[in-house]
Amino acid sequence: MLKDITLGQFFPGDTLLHRLDPRTKLILVVVYIAALFIAKSYISYAVMVAFLILSISLSNVKIGTLLKSIKPLAIIIIITALLNIFYTPGRTIVKFWIFNITWEGLRSAAFMAARIIMLIMGTFLLTYTTSPIALTDGIEILLNPLKKIKVPVHELAMMMAIALRFIPTLIEETDKIMSAQKARGADFETGNIFARAKALVPILVPLFISSFRRADELAVAMECRCYHGGEGRTRLKQLHYQKRDYFAIAFGCLVLAAVIVLRVFGL
């Protein structure tokens, strides 16, 4: 049952979006987010929607899957939209009790909702088409300059990679502990929210203890395999920018430039 949980879900494939260098995709996502926040007019939003649709069509990710990924955040989107509707001053359309719905409010609510939805879809498209390992590698290399100001980039990337590696192992372990506690009469399904939260303690305590033991053993095993930090380390898989990466980044920058120009001219 716990095996259904997917974190940083990745759909393997061989589309253009899959083949792009993870660094390119990370840069593109940053550019895309920046452009989204700069965009203000109908035309610039149209440009962004076109860019998103183009990206989706270049991958094998189904629109339905992307729309589903919005679901958990639906409440946030709705609340944001409602706040925008009621609190934006301007030309009143309807007025009742203390609420005052304005023309501008509706407009900004629609824009805000569109912005959040596109933001989520764009970032999910990244994780759907990039394996977690490639993503960690990309982040490590992109953040490399920060090492100069003593940010432990390699260590952070290593921790992230190990965390990803141990997610399935710990989920399996949680399942086992739950079964063991159920076999001894533990009840996780009934009672109010507090009773259920309390019932989780006998799962969390053994899980924590075993995680610490695992961490200890893993550290020794890593030392045995000559791990001594990021210094002088090489990599099996080197990342190389291809022509398509330069094209993709150039195209992303073009879209950003277009959105900036549109905003400057107030279109």
Partner 1 sequence: MEQPLMPGQKGYSIFMEKAVIAEKLTFAYPAQDERKVSVPVFSDLNLEVEQGSFVAVLGRNGCGKSTLAKQFNAILLPSGGSVRVYGMDTSNEDLLLEVRRRVGMVFQNPDNQIVSNVVEEDVAFAPENLGVPPEEIRTRVDEALKTVGMYDKRESAPHLLSGGQKQRIAIAGVIAMEPSCIVLDEPTAMLDPQGRTDVLETVRRLNRERGVTVILITHHMREAALADRVIVMEKGAIRADGKPEDVFSQVEMMHEAGLSVPDTTELLYELRKLGYDLPLTALSSEACAEVLYEFLCGAGKERAEV
Residues in contact with partner 1 by CB under 8 A are 132-133, 161-162, 164-165, 168-169, 172, 214, 217-218, 220-228, 232-238
Q: How far is the CB of 6 from partner 1 (least distance, A)?
A: 13
Q: Which is nearer to partner 1, 80 or 210 (CB)?
A: 210
Q: How far is the CB of 11 from partner 1 (least distance, A)?
A: 15
Q: How far is the CB of 47 from partner 1 (least distance, A)?
A: 38
Q: Which is nearer to partner 1, 187 or 216 (CB)?
A: 216
Q: Which is nearer to partner 1, 80 or 131 (CB)?
A: 131
Q: How far is the CB of 68 from partner 1 (least distance, A)?
A: 24
CA torsion 208-210-215-219 (nearest 10°) is 160
Q: Which is nearer to partner 1, 77 or 133 (CB)?
A: 133
Q: How far is the CB of 168 from partner 1 (least distance, A)?
A: 4
Q: Which is nearer to partner 1, 137 or 245 (CB)?
A: 137
